[in-house]
Structure 1
């Protein structure tokens, strides 16, 4: 898509050259850096919220079961909202998508600040159907980055996640302890309003067509006459018909489910199995954030520059299987901390590579919808994970979660390795 004749978003002047030209490379990088900042801020506000909701829920009389219902509700809402939000981003552009996500976050925090009844905690979760800043940011980075540098650019969003995790956890705990849940929630609303101002100031109306098209983009011409409704299920599910999309999705769900179960059960494991106090749990989360920053900011980019995405995907699944085996036999928090580095490495590489592969498999006009579908996989894991994880933990202990991860991931690893070798033989023939 050419943006010939549109107003320049920063100067207000009319540009006669397409924004995707080489002359606009500094402008593209500036937008990407602003998106990184918006992402880091959004994750910060979300971890501030994580420091509020459990304590407020306890004050309002929630037990573990009802708090689980609350988390499941969020998973279901975002599972439904992810694909629709992605399609909204494709149809109406980056600025509209990020503005909607930030506005929903403001409403989310204002409702949390006003929550004085158990029902209000459920009501305040409703805006999460539009709270998809991370997928919208991924769409912008995907549109503005070169295809061969896409995985590296996407991994930097993970670096932003680590920064937000550390700052948000620390800030949220401090605000909650010193000033209470209401003030902390209002602070989150004010922070989200600042993020919205950054979006309106620096993000262009659309980022489509600002990066060179991949070889799949030739099919984008046919999309000019497609239905413009964001609720068009056919337009969303048709992406599954592109070559390579369905197999990648199957791998993302099957290989990602066991590790997803462990992640959603970690708060319970930390309290009941490791017997961690809130302060100690905060240290562990900060350790998570630091490792994530190092891996996504300094490791993934170097790996993607040297190795193919299929090789890195295979590596991440293999490492994940070994992490599951180690977690199946760990006995204390020190042993768990030893598994954190390979666990964060495998999760980071797995998520970045699958997202990169999926966006390269569809036209650039549909990358938002594809990233929305990809985000829905995470929502699906958060929805079914607590039920499956709770059953396994109560009946078979923590070791069962790790051992299932080992078995499932090693099976996927062997299958993908066999399929890759088979393709090489067919190519030689």
Structure 2
């Protein structure tokens, strides 16, 4: 607000429609970012195969991405809290442009590894979650975050379908160039429509801003969030219960090639189907559940369903089985992610939502770091059933623990 009480483009304050316009633009930016992400996911496995990557080397590539984003997530979240949504989203989109340009010129294994370096800044989704969390009421936060997941489904459909067609007809290099142009367009949207900050707080003096700038890489400022009530237990559950399903996700590109024997276009159609299911779940189911039931009950439900999904994965034999399993799998993943993110952002002050969501993103990066190594070992030595059985037993153990703790509290 300016001194006369009028809303400016630099703050989120003002009437509901003004806030909702920003949120809707963020939804569009998130959908576009996921589109280019899945466009890339269509390119990398087949390009890696052309360059002579085996399952182990491709696992190392995935692990590298996980480590980079694991280190960058909390720092980038802190950057978003200090410098605002526009600066953070601009940096993330600019890094994506560089990422796709490097992918377009990758003609040897070393370049394929180098092109992953910009992922340290590629955190559009956590920043989008921060904006939605900042501009939504606490009681409606889970529903607002679930709609962001709907954008993920749209992007998955568009990116996977487009990527499969482009690779089949024009090759990996052209597809990567399309991704670079698309991310550049997303950057223009950020610069045009996203306000400098989405946090309702008083302006700081130059001295305060300089002092805060030096704390971007202050690990203590990030780890102090762990001291807030409920943060550490929820993060631990997020890591342990999310690890098995995370392993399946990071291994899926290899499974599509090696186990299901899918061609690029077929893989694109399958991923588009996943996106349709996610859209239906996020748009028509998750929001209604968050309104009617408590977050603790929904957390138990998501983990229970995930354990059953793991058991089903252990015995699937073909793509048809997978297409049936994917419905409860996406339901459990979406519900688990929305509920844990909502619980964690409610546990910290609004000034720290970006950092908290950065930590949440680092949990996913941690899973991507250990997932390829663990998943590759299990798949090569014990087959695909071992990944599903691990998910079943781990999630059952977490479910029983949470249920016992809830009964004691009641």
When normalised by structure 1's length, the TM-score is 0.89
Q: Which residue of 2 aligns with 1:333?
A: 319
8 A contact 1:227–1:235 mirrored in 2? no
1:261 Cα offset (Å): 1.2
1:190 Cα offset (Å): 1.3
CA-to-aligned-CA distance 1:324-344 (integer Å, 9 cap, x gap): 122222233222222111110
CA distance in 2: counterparts of 1:240 and 1:406, whole angstroms: 28
1:208 aligns to what SS in structure 2? coil
CA distance in 1: counterparts of 2:95 and 2:22, whole angstroms: 22
2:314 aligns to what SS in structure 1? helix
1:110 aligns with 2:96: no
CA distance in 2: counterparts of 1:68 and 1:403, whole angstroms: 21
Pairing 1:177-216 to 2, within 5 Å after superposition: 177-209=168-200
8 A contact 1:79–1:377 mirrored in 2? yes
Pair 184,333 (structure 1): closer, same or farther in 2 beyond 3 Å: closer
8 A contact 1:392–1:400 mirrored in 2? yes
1:399 aligns with 2:385: yes
- One of 317, 338, 341 as aligned partner of 1:355: 341
1:417 Cα offset (Å): 0.9
- One of 54, 69, 73 as aligned partner of 1:78: 69
List runs of 5+ in structure 2 lacking aligned partners.
202-208
1:186 Cα offset (Å): 1.9
- One of 58, 62, 67 as aligned partner of 2:53: 62
- One of 308, 325, 329 as aligned partner of 2:294: 308
CA distance in 2: counterparts of 1:20 and 1:89, whole angstroms: 18
CA distance in 1: counterparts of 2:92 and 2:266, whole angstroms: 32
1:111 Cα offset (Å): 1.6
8 A contact 1:3–1:19 mirrored in 2? no
- One of 357, 360, 365 as aligned partner of 1:371: 357
Q: Which residue of 1 aligns with 2:85?
A: 94
Pair 284,102 (structure 1): closer, same or farther in 2 beyond 3 Å: same
Pairing 1:172-251 to 2, within 5 Å after superposition: 172-209=163-200, 228-251=214-237
Q: Which residue of 1 aligns with 2:281?
A: 295
Pair 254,179 (structure 1): closer, same or farther in 2 beyond 3 Å: same
CA-to-aligned-CA distance 1:58-85 (integer Å, 9 cap, x gap): 3333333322222111111001000000
1:346 Cα offset (Å): 0.4
Q: Does 320-329 or 50-59 show the bigger shift?
A: 50-59
CA distance in 2: counterparts of 1:140 and 1:187, whole angstroms: 27
CA distance in 1: counterparts of 2:37 and 2:249, whole angstroms: 17
1:8 Cα offset (Å): 4.7
Pairing 1:30-49 to 2, within 5 Å after superposition: 30-49=21-40
CA distance in 2: counterparts of 1:122 and 1:272, whole angstroms: 22
8 A contact 1:90–1:365 mirrored in 2? yes
Pairing 1:161-180 to 2, within 5 Å after superposition: 161-180=152-171
1:268 Cα offset (Å): 2.8
Q: Does 145-154 or 49-58 show the bigger shift?
A: 49-58
The count of residues paired between Structure 1 and Structure 2 equals: 404
8 A contact 2:45–2:254 mirrored in 1? no
Pair 5,68 (structure 1): closer, same or farther in 2 beyond 3 Å: farther
CA distance in 1: counterparts of 2:50 and 2:328, whole angstroms: 37
8 A contact 2:7–2:13 mirrored in 1? no
CA distance in 1: counterparts of 2:70 and 2:316, whole angstroms: 33
List runs of 5+ in structure 1 lacking aligned partners.
13-17, 211-222, 425-429
Pair 117,265 (structure 1): closer, same or farther in 2 beyond 3 Å: closer
1:6 Cα offset (Å): 9.1
Pair 177,271 (structure 1): closer, same or farther in 2 beyond 3 Å: closer
CA distance in 1: counterparts of 2:210 and 2:297, whole angstroms: 36
